[in-house]
Structure 1
Amino acid sequence: MVALPDLDIPEDGKLSHNIIHFARALRKAGLPLGPGRVVDAIRAVEAAGFSARSDFYWTLHACFVSRPEHRLIFAQVFRLYWRDPRYLEHMIAMLSPAVRGVQEDRAAQAAEKRAAEALLDGADRNGPEPAQNRQEETRLEIDASATMSGREKLRSLDFEQMSTAEMADAKRMLAKLSLPVPPLVSRRSRADRAGHSPDWRATMRAAMRRGGDVQEFRRKSRRQRWPNLVVICDISGSMSQYSRVALHFLHAVSNNRGAGWARVHAFTFGTRLTNITRHLNQRDVDAALRAAGREAQDWEGGTRIGECLHSFNRDWSRRVLGQGAVVLLITDGLDRDDPVRLGREMERLHLSARRLIWLNPLLRWEGFAPRAQGIRQMLPRVDSLRAGHNIASIEDLAEALGRKEDGGEKRRLMALMRGTT
């Protein structure tokens, strides 16, 4: 008889009880689970047995995961709950504040903080403290009064490192932000008593109605019009968390009628291009993003930037890029397609738009350099390159739209790229 591998199941190996607690942790981490799924998971595990660790993982995965965006959360909760025999100690060390003398050995991975908080809900994270440290703790709390507030810390926190509660607060902050744009001056004119230009035609028409007697000089001014905002957002695996936050912010922009945009168009791409503009017109943000998720079938998949931009240039550019549209491209630039083709499609997109702004979350790293071929092809063909990994970077984008010559990090990275060629 072949011995089966150990699963390191906590709580003395009570399988059904542990699956129930595991499901509760997933629900606290954001997965919509009900009692029916828990019962199905217990029955599925009993039927599948424990032939391998991967079988146990995928059996629970099939029962509990119904959306692509929940895969990463499930993987982190599973790792912490089932695979690490010291998962509780690991999470306590990871979530304890630095003033206790406990520092993180590494940055929390994507969705790991949410998974840890779900498993530690109601538990004492800090544990008992010796009496001799209480006076020192009080002094440290007083000294920390001049540090950043929770709101300021949230502004600078990476979206991928946010917990469930922090992400909810961040979305509420983003919903209050606006993306104003200055109007464009049209060649067409309109009658304006306070205008700076004389309207000779209107003056002569008025004089002809009075027998040629000029009684008043008519004046005119240039009309103002508002451009379209076109957002093309990468929803591949490496961009999943950032794209969800970006679409949440985009929903707020598209429903803010006073921001100045004539119309907001939204497209997502991974392995194919999807138009989700009509879904973002719904007032309820959760319903809008659910509908957009159903429409885009390539969430957390691969990336084919060149092919998707070709589809946009061929099918949509003439429809949505008229009247001086501003294009916001949200991607990390890590492409698997032919880099020459990507450069050609980026050039066409750049020529079609009045302004092309690239938001790249990779700029959160201080040592970021344009080494990937896709990034080297895209960088010279954008007007501005900016970070897009936290709330502060989104606020900076709103200010940059009012500055025509703002290039962000493009000049610095272009110099790095010339130095490495």
Structure 2
Amino acid sequence: MPTIDHLNPPTGMMADNVVGFARALRAAGLPVGPGAVIDALDALQLIEIGNRDDLYATLEAIFVKRREHALIFAQAFALFFRAAEEWQHMLDSIPLPDHARKKPPPASRRVQEAMAPSTTRDFPSAEEQEIRLAVSDKEILQKKDFAQMSAAEIAEVTRSIARMRLPQAELRTRRFRPDKRGLKLDLRRTLRASLRTGGDIVDIRRLGLIDKPAPIVALLDISGSMSEYTRLFLHFLHAITDDRKRVSTFLFGTRLTNVTRALRARDPDEALASCTSSVEDWAGGTRIATSLHVFNKAWARRVLGQGAIVLLISDGLEREADSKLAFEMDRLHRSCRRLIWLNPLLRFGGFEPRAQGIKMMLPHVDEFRPVHNLTSMQGLIEALSSAPPPHHFSAIRSAA
């Protein structure tokens, strides 16, 4: 069998296609450099180029370095190397009712923009782009759904999330520390101070209760139905973890994975790469009840002490919705001070809890909030910094 050293790199149409495909991937957000293009051209000499599956596997092995980039690569490959199908374009031009339209695949908007010819894309100057983002675009970006954003918009949102800071929602503990305005007498320090005045008590020392930020525990659904939002949610959790260290993060799909240590890395890309490498069920199925059972049994006593706030980030589309799900949700609710369910499905104005899993989960949460854009994330930060609502359950549906 010939080796790479004895073969010449592909030239002509195939080489142009590989270079163009690499540029499209880079425009869609994948870190593809010249070295990867050279590796791809060399690897294509060892496979049967006419076999679509072999071509896909070869290019994926070279261009995809992170698990979250696999979905973008799949969409880009399908659009770039597909045969011309005029009937499909005609079908797409026919107006269909909303219920008959298929849900666009994850990252499809980003990939379609990256595949667009350079002549049809209008790239404003840096000054014009800064002016636009300073006024109208930033306002639109605040309310735009994460799933409908382009690669450039996601990059801007990622920078905005990195700047988010969670105000210290203080939780009063039972421990004391020296405090001039405290209500408890510090007898030891008072008597020690009296030695300087010959035993006369002149300076009375006091103690006050210690206030600490309430711990936050995040349970993030990484199943296939949540793939359009998972990465940005991880950026948000990394931002608040960096600001306050009492944050524990768990990812679940078909199993539960603790990624708290991974998110403590200073660099967000390094933290997210560490998370994806430690998870085996990324973008797979959903077993909420099983994952909650593992958390309640193995982790609840470790991380839910001292009045922890739990963020459950999931669409609630459970594969096996039964009484076990309601039991585990009730147990989780009783173990924490406050349970907030963040559901991207609330972005729809006419949302109704029709799914069996959602119906079983709703009675056991304190707040039900949307989390699909920057505005909803800012609302979550404000809610975490304020006192919990006086009633047991509040459904908060934002029109943002």
Q: What TM-score do the two structures reach when normalised by structure 1?
A: 0.75
The one-letter code sitting in structure 2 at the alignment partner of 1:350 is: H
Aligned to 1:123: 119
Matched, 1:111 2:111: no
- Asked if the contact 1:160/1:241 (under 8 Å) is kept, the reply is yes
Summarize deviations over 1:365-417 as a string: whole Å, max 9, x none. 11211111111111111111111111111001011113324499954589xxx
Matched, 1:326 2:313: no
Aligned to 2:214: 227
Shift in alpha-carbon separation, 1:41–1:121, aligned structure 2, 3 A: farther
- Asked if the contact 1:48/1:59 (under 8 Å) is kept, the reply is no
Aligned to 2:26: 27
The one-letter code sitting in structure 2 at the alignment partner of 1:363 is: L
Deviation, structure 1 residue 158: 1.1
Aligned to 1:392: 375
Matched, 1:199 2:185: yes
Alignment of 1:292-331 (within 5 A): 292-331=275-314
Matched, 1:74 2:61: no
Shift in alpha-carbon separation, 1:106–1:165, aligned structure 2, 3 A: farther
- Asked if the contact 1:23/1:38 (under 8 Å) is kept, the reply is no
The one-letter code sitting in structure 2 at the alignment partner of 1:357 is: I
Deviation, structure 1 residue 207: 10
- Asked if the contact 2:68/2:276 (under 8 Å) is kept, the reply is no
Aligned to 1:131: none
Aligned-pair Cα RMSD in Å: 3.5
CA distance in 2, matches of 1:407, 1:150: 37
Structure 1 segments unaligned to the other structure (5+ residues): 1-12, 95-104, 127-144, 415-421
Shift in alpha-carbon separation, 1:411–1:183, aligned structure 2, 3 A: closer
Shift in alpha-carbon separation, 1:198–1:404, aligned structure 2, 3 A: closer
Aligned to 2:129: none
SS in 2 for 1:313: helix
CA distance in 1, matches of 2:53, 2:300: 45
Matched, 1:284 2:273: no
Aligned to 1:99: none
CA distance in 2, matches of 1:233, 1:407: 26
Shift in alpha-carbon separation, 1:49–1:400, aligned structure 2, 3 A: same
Shift in alpha-carbon separation, 1:28–1:86, aligned structure 2, 3 A: farther
- Asked if the contact 1:16/1:42 (under 8 Å) is kept, the reply is no
CA distance in 2, matches of 1:402, 1:270: 29
- Asked if the contact 1:193/1:219 (under 8 Å) is kept, the reply is yes
Deviation, structure 1 residue 361: 0.7
Question: Percent of counterpart pairs with the same letter?
Answer: 46
- Asked if the contact 1:328/1:357 (under 8 Å) is kept, the reply is yes
CA distance in 2, matches of 1:398, 1:412: 17
CA distance in 2, matches of 1:369, 1:284: 39
CA distance in 1, matches of 2:289, 2:256: 11
Deviation, structure 1 residue 85: 3.0
Deviation, structure 1 residue 162: 1.1
- Asked if the contact 1:385/1:409 (under 8 Å) is kept, the reply is no
The one-letter code sitting in structure 1 at the alignment partner of 2:37 is: P
Deviation, structure 1 residue 62: 5.6
CA distance in 2, matches of 1:410, 1:289: 33
Aligned to 2:319: 336
- Asked if the contact 2:48/2:54 (under 8 Å) is kept, the reply is no
- Asked if the contact 2:296/2:332 (under 8 Å) is kept, the reply is yes
CA distance in 2, matches of 1:48, 1:407: 65
- Asked if the contact 2:254/2:291 (under 8 Å) is kept, the reply is yes
SS in 1 for 2:106: coil
Summarize deviations over 1:228-261 as a string: whole Å, max 9, x none. 11111111111123111011111111112xxxx4
The one-letter code sitting in structure 1 at the alignment partner of 2:315 is: D
- Asked if the contact 1:400/1:406 (under 8 Å) is kept, the reply is no
SS in 2 for 1:274: strand
SS in 1 for 2:48: helix
Aligned to 2:6: none
CA distance in 2, matches of 1:217, 1:26: 69
Shift in alpha-carbon separation, 1:77–1:205, aligned structure 2, 3 A: same
Comparing 305-314 with 178-187, which one deviates more in the overlay?
Answer: 178-187
Aligned positions, number: 362
Matched, 1:366 2:349: yes
Shift in alpha-carbon separation, 1:413–1:84, aligned structure 2, 3 A: farther
Summarize deviations over 1:300-335 as a string: whole Å, max 9, x none. 111111111111111111111111111111111111
Shift in alpha-carbon separation, 1:253–1:60, aligned structure 2, 3 A: same
Deviation, structure 1 residue 77: 2.0
Aligned to 1:251: 238
Aligned to 1:17: 16
Deviation, structure 1 residue 342: 1.2
Summarize deviations over 1:248-292 as a string: whole Å, max 9, x none. 111111112xxxx45111111111111111111111111111111
Summarize deviations over 1:42-96 as a string: whole Å, max 9, x none. 346x62635xx76765665566445432232223223333336379x97xx99xx
CA distance in 1, matches of 2:305, 2:39: 49
Deviation, structure 1 residue 36: 3.9
Shift in alpha-carbon separation, 1:163–1:41, aligned structure 2, 3 A: farther
Aligned to 2:41: 39
Aligned to 1:180: 167
SS in 2 for 1:401: helix
